[in-house]
């Protein structure tokens, strides 16, 4: 007979409580060789650490898969309140002196909070969102478009057709963008 165990944080609660959320149902089903499909899965981009991921379910519950210890949260919004991003960067930049945020954390935040609020949450949790300078290529030169917080805001500002360059460090123009009929495509500045 298979013995079903609960996640560590749920040991003092009933199985009824655990099974009240879809992440808990998935956790128990997994032990019984069953499966409950999440709505979304966010995987770590870290290649030098143990594989981990977040399964987010339709009811807002979350299963954090980790080699150390799996966690089940009835509300993913409660889970993210424990995040600390001190010294981590939201976007790549030339003068970056810390690690980029793990893509699974970033994607989960954006999914739960939307892009702008996710960046604000990231900053409140100690993270760094670099400013991006954006310019349009005009007659072989550059015409400044503006300064934006994060590359996503810079890209979102691109409405006019044409080639654009962006930088958030001392070296000029790390990114290039081409806008055609409102569609933004990231390219190398050298390919403009």
The string of pLDDT tens digits covering residues 81-111 is 999 999 999 987 767 888 999 999 999 999 9
- Rounded to the nearest integer, the mean pLDDT of the chain is 89
Least confident of 7-21, 47-61, 102-116, 144-158: 144-158
- In this model, does residue 1 exceed pLDDT 70? no
pTM of this prediction? Answer: 0.76
Least confident of 19-28, 39-48, 73-82, 99-108: 39-48
The answer to whether residues 91 and 151 touch, using CB atoms and an 8 Å cutoff, is yes
Residue 50, pLDDT score: 75
Residue 171, pLDDT score: 58
Residue 95, pLDDT score: 73
- Report the pLDDT averaged over residues 48-77: 92
- In this model, does residue 29 exceed pLDDT 90? yes
The two three-digit tokens of residue 146, written as one number: 């503006």
- Report the pLDDT averaged over residues 6-11: 92
Residue 71, pLDDT score: 96
Residue 59, pLDDT score: 98
Percent of the chain whose predicted confidence (pLDDT) is above 70: 95
Residue 156, pLDDT score: 86
Residue 12, pLDDT score: 92
Residue 170, pLDDT score: 58
* Digit-coded pLDDT (tens) for 116-145: 899 999 999 999 988 888 889 888 788 888
């Amino acid at each position: 007979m298979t013995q079903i165990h609960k996640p560590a944080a749920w040991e003092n609660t009933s199985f009824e409580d655990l099974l009240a959320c879809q992440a808990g149902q998935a956790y128990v089903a997994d032990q019984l060789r069953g499966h409950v499909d999440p709505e979304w899965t966010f995987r770590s981009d870290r290649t030098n650490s143990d594989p981990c991921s977040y399964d987010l379910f339709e009811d807002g519950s979350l299963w954090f898969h980790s080699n150390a210890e799996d966690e089940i949260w009835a509300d993913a919004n409660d889970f993210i309140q424990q995040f600390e991003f001190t010294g981590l960067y939201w976007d790549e930049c030339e003068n970056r002196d810390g690690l980029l945020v793990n893509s699974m954390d970033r994607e989960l935040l954006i999914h739960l909070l939307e892009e702008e609020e996710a960046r604000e949450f990231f900053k409140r949790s100690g993270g760094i969102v670099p400013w991006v300078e954006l310019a349009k290529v005009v007659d072989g030169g550059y015409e400044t478009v503006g300064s934006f917080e994060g590359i996503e805001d810079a890209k979102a500002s691109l409405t006019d057709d044409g080639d654009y360059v962006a930088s958030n460090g001392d070296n000029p123009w790390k990114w290039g963008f081409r806008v055609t009929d409102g569609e933004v495509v990231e390219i190398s500045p050298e390919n403009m």
